[in-house]
Structure 1
Amino acid sequence: MYIPNDFQEVRPEEITSLIKNYPLACIIANTAKGLIATHVPLIMRSDNVLVGHIAIINDMKTLVSDAQEVLCIFKGEDSYISANYYPSKFEDHRKVPTWNYQVVHVYGNINYFSDTKSKLAAIGILTKISEKEANGDSGWKMSDAPKEYLMDQLNDLIVFEINISKVQAQSKLSQNREKRDFDSVIKNLQERGKNEIAESMLRIERN
């Protein structure tokens, strides 16, 4: 990924936040049949391990072997940025539109697990985190489902871990603009309801 110096994201807390807040990753791998892409939520089990699961009939398991390198892409909120958002544009008219976004590329080697213990652990952590965010203390629990039904569902899944080898991140958030233009972009994003990317810009300003 090409990352201009102005947009390099090196804050560990921001990178971790992007992965946690936007867990639906695109996993890309090179295979004997060409490139494949799989969209699946991934959870950080530790600082250097991502965990997820796929249907056992998913071609990814057949085409991507144990220990093979994969690329996982996490993308935050993005937005079109009009040149009219820049107050300086009305003075010199030397501005053009652009696009603001945040993205994290995680490289690592994948390993699959088919035992019941690994499946329960992977589904359990994903469910616990997701239900807590969606429903608080009243969230669904795995124990809510009949045991036999749950086991049948698990039989159709395979779990995998990705051992992280490299992380690249980019926050393209108008950092290369003068303050009045930067602040105006935030204001316009807020007015359009793009609050998450506006908040990301405010975090840059606070730092």
Structure 2
Amino acid sequence: MYVPAHFAENRKDVLHDCIAQHPFGTLVTQGKSGLDANHIPFELAAGEGELGLLRAHVARANPVWQDVANGDEVLVIFRAGDAYISPNWYPSKHEAHKQVPTWNYVVVHAHGRIRILDDERYVRGVIGRLTRTHEAMQPKPWKMADAPKDYTDTLVKLIVGVEIEITRLVGKSKLSQNKEERDIRGAGEALISSGESPIGDAMLAAADEKAR
């Protein structure tokens, strides 16, 4: 990924937080059948290994778990939002007219080594933790015990575990940091007013940082 210095995000805690807040990643593999991409919710174990571990599961019917070998290099892409930026939102455009459209976004690339775990205990652990995390905001959180045991036992056998040791994290926050503070703020406020709050809020934070 091309990352100009003014868009680079290198802080591990910020990158981990981005993954935790946006855990639905794109797993990119280069296996025996060639290039492939699968869209999977991940659990981040931030404190394990130098850069953390990613844990997930895939359907047994998905050929990806047989297409790769343990130790193969893979890439997981986590997107934290994106938005089109109109030059009309930059105050300086109305003075010098020297602005063009762009697209802003926040993304984390987690490079790592994959391991396949065809292990029922591991799979149950991943499912249980993912469920607790994503059900936590529900009025009455669902748990595996809510379903009949024979039903969940059958489904668990149709799942294979995946673990990825993160070896490199690359973060990019493209939020118009190469613009004037007033232009960053103007575009951020325009995004928020149009309902694009995630990137708009991030741009206002970037404007505040530039103003310091």
Tell me the TM-score normalised to structure 1 length. Answer: 0.94
Residues 130-166 of structure 1 show CA distances to partners (whole Å, capped at 9, x for unaligned) of 1114x15x11011111111111010000011101100
Residue 81 of structure 2 is matched in structure 1 by 77
> Take 2:97 and 2:27, find their aligned partners in 1: how far apart are those partners?
41
Q: Is the 8 A contact 2:116 2:161 kept in 1?
A: yes
Residue 165 of structure 2 is matched in structure 1 by 163
Instruction: Give the alignment partner of residue 52 of structure 1, picking from 50, 56, 65.
Output: 56
1:91 pairs with 2:88 = no
1:32 pairs with 2:36 = no
> Take 2:27 and 2:183, find their aligned partners in 1: how far apart are those partners?
36
> Take 1:87 and 1:49, find their aligned partners in 2: how far apart are those partners?
44
One-letter identity of the residue aligned with 2:203: M
Residue 200 of structure 1 is matched in structure 2 by 202
Deviation, structure 1 residue 69: 0.9
One-letter identity of the residue aligned with 2:63: D
Structure 2 counterpart SS, 1:117: helix
> Take 2:18 and 2:204, find their aligned partners in 1: how far apart are those partners?
15
Residue 186 of structure 2 is matched in structure 1 by 184
- Quote the sequence identity (%): 37
Deviation, structure 1 residue 117: 1.2
Deviation, structure 1 residue 192: 0.9
Q: Is the 8 A contact 2:22 2:78 kept in 1?
A: yes
Deviation, structure 1 residue 15: 1.4
One-letter identity of the residue aligned with 1:115: D
Instruction: Give the alignment partner of residue 109 of structure 2, picking from 105, 108, 117.
Output: 105
Q: Is the 8 A contact 2:184 2:207 kept in 1?
A: no
Q: Is the 8 A contact 2:16 2:46 kept in 1?
A: no
Residues 97-133 of structure 1 show CA distances to partners (whole Å, capped at 9, x for unaligned) of 1000001000111111122211111101111111114
Residue 119 of structure 1 is matched in structure 2 by 123
The size of the alignment, in residue pairs, is 205
Structure 1 counterpart SS, 2:9: coil
Residue 63 of structure 1 is matched in structure 2 by 67
Deviation, structure 1 residue 60: 0.2
One-letter identity of the residue aligned with 1:18: C
Deviation, structure 1 residue 203: 3.2
Greater Cα offset, 187-196 or 28-37: 28-37
Greater Cα offset, 4-13 or 95-104: 4-13
> Take 2:178 and 2:94, find their aligned partners in 1: how far apart are those partners?
18
> Take 1:179 and 1:66, find their aligned partners in 2: how far apart are those partners?
47
1:13 pairs with 2:13 = yes
> Take 2:32 and 2:159, find their aligned partners in 1: how far apart are those partners?
23
Residue 4 of structure 2 is matched in structure 1 by 4
User: RMSD of aligned C-alpha atoms?
Assistant: 1.3
Gaps of 5+ in 1: none
Structure 2 counterpart SS, 1:162: strand
